[in-house]
């Protein structure tokens, strides 16, 4: 019995020892398995000093025998090479009101906090203009009354209002007098006053009076200082206030470009088109901060708008590939307008995500910190596109530029993109019906014929203007007779110099880059077809750039003829592909072509 008891005790002790070893093995296997799930960091060994790969292989059979009641979630292994938790945006943790309370409203002007607006004393006040003599006004009134009495036309009162270039005599007709009776005496009134250009303008809106305009013998110039320093302009609560001059009754004429929303300026050479353009630019420079406004200036002549290159980092926008802030080439003009279309589409996407319809509503939300900048939202500045001599773009390129301008005119208003186009050739080929339908606001300076006036304003009248900045402004409904403000070159230089000497952005505003996937490959004169010159002479002779012509006349296959046409396009001899139409031939005669081919050889 004693021997049996010893054997049983030894068996029980052995079972207990084996059970403890088995439990310890299972715990080690769970730790090893969890370490394997944490990317198996190098140079990690077990407590026994055995490398993990070896340990895993030796304990493989024990891992299979691990008990089901042990779960991995009960044993947490350390995490190796864990990246820090990403920083959350304040917009994800705070409401808009809490952000405003903590950071305040967003202020776009803080990028240039010390920027100062140009002072009014930079502008000249003395334009050497002689005032109208009060005695002459009284004499003219007496002559008008005497003439009307001669024709038995009775009036109750007459008064004179002196304007910049004309004086307006307001007549209050007696009861029963018809306006047409006085209009019929327009020639007689001009003869009586010895004044060329006198006209009866008819009923003056808002009054019971009839107006007679009498031009001054020495017209007065309207200084830009008198306009920009007026309370009408200084106190204007407009988004983009532009001062166009003064009306004939000496009232400052200010319009909001944001509501126009585009403007067409047209008139013959030397009548004040460029001065009107610079007065508009000066108006905006006096009212807007560089963070609120950017210009895209297109001047193919490189004369009128180049003085503003000195304020490029403050107020101009350009593409990243452009060398100059002022666009002076056709390719750069097309690229800039294409980039503006991309910017316009991006702004519409931002509006859609922000559930807004206008740039004012969008910027208001951004300023109130309800839009997250990390989602691509940003404060949007107004962009004003200035095109000097639009006719150069129309006559020297294909229809692509006109299509870009029309697209910007149709959709740019809501996103803060506005067009100001000027031209000195007011013909139907330049100012097309599509352009007029999308640009309702127009400024007509003096033109030669009534046909030109109809082209600009859809009515006559501009042919009777006296020039020197006198213009008719139409907002699509009403026409206002104004005298434009005069800005001298010295004043432009003084304003630009004041802005240029202040702290600015590092570069002009960069527009999205436009990549033309259909642009022709660069022309390699060494890799041209042997029949290249013969084909060039052929298309210039027939003024028709089609592969079928080359194929038929030179007896070539269609594929080879098509490659030759591609080479002619790359060489600038024919224009781009235009669907079923033949390509435009860019050389008018064989003489100019031969000179070009000599240069290639």
Task: Please give the backbone phi and psi of residue 255, each rounded to the nearest 5 degrees, phi first.
Answer: -130, 155
Q: Does 267 appear as a known binding residue?
A: yes
Q: Tell me whether strands 317-319 and 199-203 are parallel, antiparallel or unpaired.
A: unpaired
Q: Is the pLDDT of residue 66 over 60?
A: no
Assess whether 27 and 169 both reside in one domain: no
SS3 for 163-207 is: CCCEEEEEEEECCCCCHHHHHCCHHHHHHHHCCCCCEEEEECCCC
Assess whether 309 and 403 both reside in one domain: yes
pLDDT confidence bin for 13, thresholds 50/70/90 = low
Above pLDDT 70, what percent of the chain? 83
DSSP 308: G
Q: Which residues contact 165 (CB under 8 A, 6 or more apart)?
A: 215, 216, 219, 220, 248, 466, 468, 470, 483
Q: Is the pLDDT of residue 363 over 90?
A: yes
Assess whether 152 and 205 both reside in one domain: yes
Of 197, 215, 233, the residue that ends a domain is 215
Residue 147 sits in a domain whose CATH number is 3.30.980.40
Look at residue 171 and tell me if it is in a domain. yes
Look at residue 427 and tell me if it is in a domain. yes
- Residue whose C-alpha is closest to residue 412's, from 237, 601, 213, 257: 257
The pLDDT assigned to 583 comes to: 84
Token digits of residue 202: 């008819």
Q: Does 211 appear as a known binding residue?
A: no
The pLDDT assigned to 496 comes to: 96
How many whole angstroms separate alpha carbon 216 and alpha carbon 519?
57
Cβ–Cβ < 8 Å for 129, 220: yes
The pLDDT assigned to 44 comes to: 42
Look at residue 113 and tell me if it is in a domain. no
How many whole angstroms separate alpha carbon 7 and alpha carbon 250?
128
Q: Walk across the sheet containing 252-256 and list its strands.
A: 252-256, 241-247, 479-483, 470-474, 441-444, 263-266, 417-423, 382-388, 293-299
3-state secondary structure of 250: coil
Q: Is the pLDDT of residue 34 over 60?
A: no
Token digits of residue 396: 């020297």
Over range 311-340, report the average pLDDT.
91
Assess whether 259 and 355 both reside in one domain: yes
pLDDT confidence bin for 395, thresholds 50/70/90 = low
Give per-residue pLDDT as tens, 137-154: 888 899 999 999 999 999
Q: Does 272 appear as a known binding residue?
A: yes
Q: Is the pLDDT of residue 572 over 50?
A: yes
Assess whether 8 and 40 both reside in one domain: yes
pTM of structure: 0.71
**Buried b / exposed e across 425-461, counting CB within 10 Å, b at 16+?**
bbeeebbeeebbebbbbbbbbbbeeeebbbbbbeeeb
How many whole angstroms separate alpha carbon 481 and alpha carbon 248?
6
Q: Which residues contact 239 (CB under 8 A, 6 or more apart)?
A: 256, 257, 258, 259, 360, 382
Q: Is the pLDDT of residue 587 over 60?
A: yes
Q: Tell me whether strands 470-474 and 441-444 are parallel, antiparallel or unpaired.
A: antiparallel
Residue 543 sits in a domain whose CATH number is 1.10.10.10
DSSP 69: T
Q: Does 93 appear as a known binding residue?
A: no
The pLDDT assigned to 78 comes to: 38
Give per-residue pLDDT as tens, 43-58: 444 433 434 443 343 3
Assess whether 193 and 260 both reside in one domain: no
Assess whether 271 and 407 both reside in one domain: yes
Look at residue 153 and tell me if it is in a domain. yes
Q: Does 270 appear as a known binding residue?
A: yes
Assess whether 458 and 579 both reside in one domain: no
The pLDDT assigned to 10 comes to: 72
Q: Is the pLDDT of residue 373 over 50?
A: yes
Cβ–Cβ < 8 Å for 52, 90: no
Assess whether 401 and 472 both reside in one domain: yes
Look at residue 203 and tell me if it is in a domain. yes
Assess whether 491 and 529 both reside in one domain: no
Residue 532's alpha-carbon distances to 61, 315, 365, in angstroms, are 81, 48, 61
Q: Which residues contact 439 (CB under 8 A, 6 or more apart)?
A: 262, 263, 264, 409, 419, 421
Look at residue 260 and tell me if it is in a domain. yes
How many whole angstroms separate alpha carbon 573 and alpha carbon 575?
7
pLDDT confidence bin for 124, thresholds 50/70/90 = confident
Q: Which residues contact 343 (CB under 8 A, 6 or more apart)?
A: 383, 417, 511, 512
Look at residue 225 and tell me if it is in a domain. no
pLDDT confidence bin for 131, thresholds 50/70/90 = low
3-state secondary structure of 304: coil
Cβ–Cβ < 8 Å for 284, 293: yes
Residue 130's alpha-carbon distances to 389, 439, 505, in angstroms, are 33, 37, 44
**By CB neighbour count within 10 A (0-12 exposed, 13-18 middle, 19+ buried), where does 221 fall?**
middle
Q: What is the mean pLDDT of the chain?
A: 83
Of 32, 56, 74, the residue that ends a domain is 74
Look at residue 122 and tell me if it is in a domain. no
Assess whether 354 and 478 both reside in one domain: yes
DSSP 78: P
Range of the domain at 418: 247-501
More confident residue, 2 or 455: 455
Highest mean pLDDT pick, 252-266, 453-467, 587-601: 252-266
Cβ–Cβ < 8 Å for 153, 519: no
Q: Which residues contact 485 (CB under 8 A, 6 or more apart)?
A: 222, 223, 224, 226, 227, 228, 243, 244, 245, 246, 275, 279, 469
Q: Does 271 appear as a known binding residue?
A: yes
Of 74, 95, 114, the residue that ends a domain is 74
Assess whether 532 and 488 both reside in one domain: no
Cβ–Cβ < 8 Å for 211, 169: yes
Residue 473 sits in a domain whose CATH number is 3.40.50.300
Domain count, the chain: 4
Task: Please give the backbone phi and psi of residue 524, each rounded to the nearest 5 degrees, phi first.
Answer: -110, 105
How many whole angstroms separate alpha carbon 230 and alpha carbon 252?
8
């Amino acid at each position: 019995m004693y021997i049996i008891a010893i054997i049983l005790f030894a068996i029980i002790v052995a079972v207990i020892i084996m059970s403890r070893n088995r439990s310890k093995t299972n715990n080690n296997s769970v730790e090893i398995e969890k370490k394997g799930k944490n990317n198996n960091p190098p140079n990690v060994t077990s407590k026994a000093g055995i490398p993990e790969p070896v340990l895993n292989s030796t304990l493989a059979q024990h891992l299979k025998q691990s008990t089901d009641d042990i779960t991995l979630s009960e044993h947490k292994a350390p995490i190796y090479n864990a990246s820090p938790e990403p920083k959350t945006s304040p917009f994800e943790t705070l409401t808009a009101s809490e952000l405003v309370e903590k950071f305040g409203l967003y202020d776009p002007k803080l990028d240039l906090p010390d920027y100062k607006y140009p002072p009014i004393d930079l502008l000249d006040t003395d334009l050497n203009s002689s005032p109208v003599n009060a005695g002459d006004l009284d004499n003219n009134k007496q002559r008008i009354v005497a003439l009307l009495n001669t024709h038995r036309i009775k009036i109750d009162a007459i008064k004179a209002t002196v304007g910049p270039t004309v004086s307006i005599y307001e007549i209050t007709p007696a009861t029963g007098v018809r306006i047409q009776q006085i209009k019929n005496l327009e020639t007689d009134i001009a003869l009586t006053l010895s004044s060329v250009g006198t006209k009866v303008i008819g009923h003056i809106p808002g009054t019971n009076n009839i107006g007679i305009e009498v031009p001054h013998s020495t017209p007065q110039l309207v200084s830009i200082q008198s306009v920009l320093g007026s309370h009408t302009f200084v106190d204007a609560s407009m988004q983009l206030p532009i001062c166009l001059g003064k009306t004939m009754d000496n009232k400052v004429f200010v319009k909001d470009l944001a509501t126009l929303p585009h403007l067409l300026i047209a008139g013959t050479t030397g009548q004040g088109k460029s001065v009107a353009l610079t007065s508009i630019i000066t108006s905006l420079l006096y009212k807007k901060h560089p963070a609120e406004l950017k210009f895209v200036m297109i001047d193919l002549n490189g004369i009128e708008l180049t003085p503003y290159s000195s304020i490029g980092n403050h107020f101009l926008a350009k593409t990243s590939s452009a060398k100059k802030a002022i666009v002076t080439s056709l390719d750069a003009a097309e690229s800039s307008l294409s980039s503006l279309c991309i910017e316009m589409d991006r702004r519409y996407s931002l509006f859609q995500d922000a559930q807004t319809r206008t740039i004012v509503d969008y910027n208001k939300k951004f300023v109130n910190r309800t839009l997250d900048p990390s989602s691509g939202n940003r404060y949007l500045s107004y962009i004003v596109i200035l095109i000097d001599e639009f006719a150069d773009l129309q006559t020297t390129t294909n229809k692509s530029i006109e299509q870009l301008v029309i697209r910007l005119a149709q959709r740019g208003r809501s996103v803060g993109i506005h067009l100001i186009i000027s031209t000195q050739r007011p013909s139907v080929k330049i100012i097309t019906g599509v352009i007029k339908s999308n640009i309702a606001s127009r400024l007509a300076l003096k033109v030669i014929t009534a046909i030109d006036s109809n082209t600009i304003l859809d009515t006559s009248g501009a042919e009777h203007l006296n020039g020197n900045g006198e213009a008719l402004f139409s907002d699509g409904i009403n026409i206002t007779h104004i005298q434009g403000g005069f800005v001298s070159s010295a004043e432009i230089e003084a304003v630009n110099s004041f802005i240029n000497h202040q702290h600015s952005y590092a570069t002009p505003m960069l527009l999205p880059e436009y990549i033309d996937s259909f642009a022709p490959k660069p022309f390699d004169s060494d890799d041209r077809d042997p029949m290249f010159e013969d084909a060039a002479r052929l298309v210039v002779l027939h003024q028709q750039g089609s592969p079928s012509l080359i194929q038929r006349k030179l007896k070539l296959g269609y594929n080879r003829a098509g490659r030759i046409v591609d080479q002619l396009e790359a060489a600038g001899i024919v224009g781009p592909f235009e669907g079923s139409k033949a390509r435009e031939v860019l050389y008018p005669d064989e003489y100019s072509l031969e000179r070009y081919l000599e240069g290639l050889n």
